[in-house]
Homo-oligomer: A and B are copies of this chain.
Amino acid sequence: MYALKKAFAKYFPILDWGSRYNSKTLVNDLVVALIVTMMLIPQSLAYATLAGLQPEVGLYASMLPLILYAVFGTSSALAVGPVAVVSLMTATAISKMAISGTSEYLTAAIALALISGLILLVLGFLKMGFVANFLSHPVISGFITASGLQIAAGQLGPVLGIPLHGDNFLEIIISLWNEIKHAHFETTVLGLSVVVFLFFLKSGLRPLLRRVGLRDSLANMIVKVGPVLAIIVTTLVAWSMDLLGSGVRIVGEIPGGLPTLSLHIPKINLLAQLLVPAILISIVGYAESISVAQTLAAKKRERVDPDQELIALGASNIGSALSGGFPVTGGLSRSVVNFDAGAETPAAGAFTALGIALAIIFLTPLLYFLPYATLGALILVAILSLVGFGELLETWSFSKADFTAMLITIITTLTAGIETGLIAGVTLSMLLHLYTTSRPHIAIIGQIPGTAHFRNVLRHKVATDPEVISVRFDESIYFPNVRFLEDFVNDAVAANPAVKHFILECRAVNRIDTSALVSLEAINRRLKEGGIAFHLSEVKGPVMDQLKKSNFLEHLTGKVHLTHYGAVSSLNPDMAANTLNAAE
């Protein structure tokens, strides 16, 4: 009974904070929800169009997911919903199998949310959040910069009133080059005005507001609500000046009611086609979301549970699918606003969902004249803040390997598309990781005269014995580095014909796997055939326990020595006699 209760508390964090909920928290969360709703409406409309869907689908994806996150999530500030990169990944995945605007396209988007949700749920129950580790920082950073560029280039289409095509940045730029002469005048004026206005909001208004004495957080909030102003003004302009007649594309009629809940089980071939994109979306979405959640939690000394977050995001995506939405995740900008506004519990998210529901019921008719150019401009300006080449330079000076991984990720993403780019980046960083871990630091060591200390013979003046080679391996021994160890031993022995004893100092060896065991056995056997005894020293407890499970210790031609000094002095008493301060 207690175990059941504990499991319940683990999987339903709402039971914990819900029991402490009171009227003060309620009022606070309601205010926060109002602000975030103001920000979420334009974003969800815009990101739905980025995903190639009708704007209202963005609103559908901004209700149930928020409520489910409030039930299952562990971060009080994370705001889930449509985000830019995941929306682009959605468009990329489903534009291969259906044409934007068709019902097949929407069905595929919903299926993608469902599959992605299930994947996240499974990863959560298996506690496999570590898969997000596949995404090293240079790869995710390069990927987001490159997708940001692709998104920005693509949004020049609606902003200039021209159709742009292409599955990657390069193709979109070529399409832009061919089409720019057909730019639609009224649309361009409107679109660029919004772009300029939003840039002013970001870089001009905020310092201005601060200078007149507003608090930072309030100034930020006004800036964040700016997009709503852009929507209201441009919609009014489009309506009053009859821009529709002059050819400016507007959103038009949006179905006003709340979405009906329904579960569409995708067909097996759709599922097979969507599996790889769904995996990529799940991992990228999770990586983005967990880093936002952890950053905000740390500010309040709260903790987020990485595995429970997988479950919460999984539930959110399944909720999105149930209500006819597309893949969602925790987004940076809204979460920061949520946090700055003072969200105390995940309930703020649930109230935001209520705000969106009210907007669907009452506001959609007002959005009839909303120009697509406005939505394009909103995305364009928002996404450019994600594009950062400065980091590329910083990475260059820090690590050439990471720089290479980042650059290849960017170039592949820009020229071959986001899925290929992401996979190339992940594969490359795994290869580089394998390469680095396959060549750990290893040194032949000798005794610092008069002490029981041993140091690298290449860096220090140390005493060595031609009959004894001491080698220190500065890493756990496992399959990526066993060959390196074997090579090193072979070379060291081939270069020292007088050697009779080989001691491996294992102070830094925290772990060994089966490949290591097989290698140690091979080393022991080869040394034996060359007439050399193989010793180990300073073996840690857990490694010793492991070795005892095999019969390696019975085959070992030498001994396992507690200390390296003990090993050397037992093999050559002269070395011990030299030592003045051996006790240490």
Contact = CB atoms under 8 A, between A and B. Distances in A.
B515 A136 contact: yes
Contacts of A527: 298
Chain A residues touching B, range: 35 or more
Interface string A513-552: 1110111001001110110000000000000001001100
A556 interface: no
Nearest to A484: B130
A435 B301 contact: no
Given A138-B514, A515-B138, A398 B546 contact: yes
Nearest to A306: B487
Contact of A295 (B304, B441, B491, B526): B526
B439 A130 contact: yes
A511 B437 CA distance: 10
A137 interface: yes
A303 to B, nearest CB: 4
A436 interface: yes
B494 A303 contact: yes
Q: Which secondary structure characterizes the binding site on chain A? A: helix
Interface stretch (A160-168, A176-184, A426-434): A426-434
Interface stretch (A99-107, A310-318, A472-480): A472-480
B483 A306 contact: yes
A480 to B, nearest CB: 5
Contact of A130 (B438, B478, B494): B438
A434 to B, nearest CB: 6
A153 interface: no
A275 interface: no
A579 interface: no
B399 A514 contact: yes
Contacts of A474: 510
B513 A402 contact: yes
Contact of A529 (B136, B298, B517): B298
A133 B483 contact: yes
A513 B401 contact: yes
Contacts of A434: 130-131, 133-134
Contacts of A16: none
A395 B514 CA distance: 7
A228 interface: no
Given A136-B479, A483-B132, A518-B137, A526 B298 contact: yes
A302 interface: yes
A468 to B, nearest CB: 16
A299 interface: yes
Contact of A301 (B437, B478, B493, B514): B493
A517 B398 contact: yes
Nearest to A402: B514
A464 interface: no
B298 A530 contact: yes
A475 B478 CA distance: 13
Interface of A: 129-138, 290-291, 294-295, 297-299, 301-304, 306, 394-395, 397-399, 401-402, 406, 429-431, 433-441, 474-476, 478-484, 486-487, 490-491, 493-494, 497, 508, 510-511, 513-515, 517-519, 522, 525-527, 529-530, 546, 549-550
| Shortest 10 CB-CB contacts between residues of A and residues of B | A298-B526, A136-B479, A137-B515, A402-B514, A303-B494, A130-B438, A299-B529, A133-B480, A137-B518, A136-B515
24 contacts: A129-B483, A130-B434, A130-B484, A131-B434, A133-B438, A133-B479, A133-B481, A136-B478, A136-B514, A137-B482, A137-B514, A294-B486, A294-B487, A294-B490, A304-B490, A306-B487, A395-B514, A397-B550, A398-B517, A401-B513, A430-B430, A436-B513, A508-B508, A508-B510
Given A398-B517, A398-B549, 17 more contacts: A133-B434, A133-B481, A133-B482, A135-B479, A136-B515, A137-B514, A295-B522, A295-B525, A297-B490, A298-B493, A298-B530, A299-B530, A306-B487, A397-B549, A398-B550, A402-B513, A433-B480
